[in-house]
Structure 1
């Protein structure tokens, strides 16, 4: 009998919370970093995007951004309690007024959808994007205040949850909000603002309160904890696997072992303190935003 035709790779999901250890697909105690040379990358200025619109009451404070699969840009303007959508050419499309301050956003990897955290209400809102409309889909109620959120390449979510006091956990869940694993970070995290997920499904977490950038596996194994970047705000991973971190004074380039490569651009270059970043893999554009009506646009290139 001939072999059956391949059905293609299965979609890997976050670990289910009650799986026995022998079934745990994400424990990786022997994780070894790829051999990455300390290759510096240049940030080429490509201009800026105006994010202030006619009915904005206040100067913009952009706390989070995300690129959608089609290249469109989704922006969280906390000062005006607005969610704003720009097309892939960075032209304004539409916006939505929120009843409370939105915090952080991540995009689905294969759908025109985003997930936005709301700190005060401990909720995550799933929003579908159209050219001239934003449609709310589902609401996920979290067990504590939620800040940072990121999506993996299969659509799973990682969310920073304030359990009580200064105790934080990272909850790994599916897009419906079903918790599949809890990364206990009581001894690690103090105020995780933003995070990103690597191609190896590891987490890079910017903990501003702890002045630490963590690179950890989903079972909580710490690959590195960089305490040299004071007040890290946000991060992204480029297509070569380098980690870029926004501190209050400059943007740093690290490799996945946490080794410093260089600092890429400074606050003086940008014109304001960098607070949040976004990266588009297709053309290697990356954006820098903060308390400003402008988003700065750069393109990554090799030296």
Structure 2
């Protein structure tokens, strides 16, 4: 991929302090959800990236993933808060409570993957522990391949992107000078991995094996400053980036 234009869209609503967009999710409908950790809110954007609804959560929200076409899961403290999404409304639904912090989240079919900062867990959608997949000093965010056979996690303190098999074994380790303090990551429908370098002000595209850099999508020259989250909108061929800012960046790519 390469950038073919950039736009900025405001996600601040009345009463907010500075927004801190820690994760982003695009639904099949084209609606976009952003997790605003700075204001303890989840915000719903329409196809024009305008905020049409928002809801407050009980603790700092960090990660989000699609569960069904009209439902997402959000990590909030030691819980996963499920939220139902309509055309212009967010409705909080059930919660799953855990004994550990919940940071990153991903799902595939009936499996839910949650990171705690030091471990990657596999749960069922009703919260039953299936297995502990990986343990490390720094397990920040997670993502799953479209086919569900590989998992990806960021190790922020060691500046690594790890690719895991479904049993948790490490298949590959990716490091790059442009990947410093990796935070959020996203897997495209083609299976490529996008990962944020928060301290290096870069978004990298890595191949599906997690071993080779395909492109440096965006850097400081493209307006990045400490990117926190990245997501690909396949409806518009765009890369959405969240930062500690009242605006999201949307890069048209081709």
User: Normalising by structure 1, what TM-score?
Assistant: 0.77
Larger proportion of strand: 2
Aligned to 2:159: 211
Pair 1:44-2:44 in alignment: no
Provide the residue aligned with 2:122 in structure 1: 172
CA distance in 2, matches of 1:193, 1:295: 21
1:233 partner SS:
strand
Unaligned runs of 5+ in 2: none
> Residue 141 of structure 2 aligns to a residue in which SS?
strand
- Which position in structure 2 is the counterpart of 1:243? 193
CA distance in structure 1 between the aligned counterparts of 2:36 and 2:230, rounded to whole angstroms? 13
Indicate the residue corresponding to 1:136 in structure 2. Answer: 92
Decide which of 97, 101, 108 is 2:60's aligned counterpart: 101
Structure 1 unpaired stretches of 5+: 1-40, 163-167
User: Aligned pair 1:159/2:117, yes or no?
Assistant: no
Deviation, structure 1 residue 114? 0.9
8 A Cα contact 1:142 1:161, kept in partner: no
Helix, strand or coil for the counterpart of 2:47? coil
Report the RMSD for the aligned CA atoms in angstroms.
Answer: 1.7
5 Å matches for 1:178-189? 178-185=128-135, 189=136
C-alpha spacing 1:42/1:247, structure 2 compared with 1 (3 Å): same
1:11 — aligned with what?
none
**Separation in structure 1 between the aligned mates of residue 193 and residue 234 of structure 2, nearest angstrom:** 13
Kindly report structure 1 stretches of 4+ aligned residues shifted beyond 3 Å.
Answer: none
Per-residue Cα deviation, 1:19-46 (whole angstroms, up to 9, x for no partner):
xxxxxxxxxxxxxxxxxxxxxx212224
Count residues in correspondence: 248
Larger Rg: 1
- Is the 1:160–1:170 Cα contact (8 Å) retained in structure 2? yes
CA contact (8 A) 1:143 1:161 kept: no
Call closer, same or farther: CA 1:300–1:239 in 2, change over 3 Å: farther
Structure 1 equivalent of residue 46 of structure 2: 87
Aligned position for 2:172: 224
